[in-house]
Structure 1
Amino acid sequence: MWEMGSQEDAALVRRGYEAFIAGDMDTLRELFADDIVWHAAGTGELAGDKKGPDAVLAYFGELASRATGSLKVTLEDVAPGDRYTVGIQSNHAERNGRTLDQRQVVVFSISDGKVTEAREMLEDTALGADFWS
């Protein structure tokens, strides 16, 4: 049985996905701690740590821009835990005549009702790096 806090964290992650999918960056900003660190997976141009809400939202904007409107994220499940809340998603994007379809896991750290850290884990990191670069 999960603690109530983990259920609240799962609800926060679901709200974040809903906001991302809807393009509601204002709601996303509200869910992020001021010192959030988003670890973008891989070794491509977009990989690395994004520090602060502005940097995280700029990263999301760059993904959307590079996918020229084709980026589609589908939340498959949220797994709440004692220390982390995990979002399991599938991604679809088209870019330069190529298509990317793969699963991704994002491990969220949440404190005081805000996302403090997120770590992406891609199904195929090399494929993702190649596609986005």
Structure 2
Amino acid sequence: MTEEVSDMGAAENAEVVRRGYEAFNAGDLATLGELFAEDAVWYAAGNGPLSGTKQGRDAVMAYFGELGARSQGSFQATVQDVVGGDSHTVGIQQTRAENNGKTLDMATVIVFVLRDGVVVEGREFFEDPAKSDEFWA
């Protein structure tokens, strides 16, 4: 097996990430889960109640579910662009949600690492981490 066959290229990685955004925004956690490796790790930025490292696909999916639950289903990640790379793929999004009369609306970047066509790592970066922490508190 050649390296080209075993490793996905930048365009394929970007397509996986785009499919993930579509599934996430549709609330389709089953499809979304298929795009994550069983041992995936997610780094949720900040110091709020949802922040921290999520180890494993189940923990990552539980975190995504909590975003929806805490925002009464209003959480949306509107994709601005997906930049594919061989090692890292970057999702640039506008994050919007409502929670107990508060509104979150900020630029967010997620750096994804993919292996064999699935996400093995995600790392969030928020425009204003303190505001995000306050929103989820």
Instruction: Look up the match of 2:34.
Output: 30
Shift >2 Å, 4+ stretches:
none
Q: Distance in 1 between matches of 2:120 and 2:110?
A: 13
Shift of the alpha carbon at 1:43?
0.6
Which of 106, 110, 113 lines up with 1:109 in the alignment?
113
5+ residue gaps, structure 1, are none
5+ residue gaps, structure 2, are 1-7
> What amino acid is the match of 2:72?
T
Q: What is the percent sequence identity of the aligned residues?
A: 58
Q: Deviations over 1:52-95 (max 9, x none)?
A: 11101110111111101221221110011232000001011111
Q: Deviations over 1:106-130 (max 9, x none)?
A: 0000011110000000000000001
Instruction: Look up the match of 2:4.
Output: none
Q: TM-score, normalised by structure 2?
A: 0.92
Structure 1 vs Structure 2 CA RMSD: 1.0
Q: TM-score, normalised by structure 1?
A: 0.94
Q: Is the 8 A contact 2:79 2:92 kept in 1?
A: yes
Q: Distance in 1 between matches of 2:119 and 2:105?
A: 26
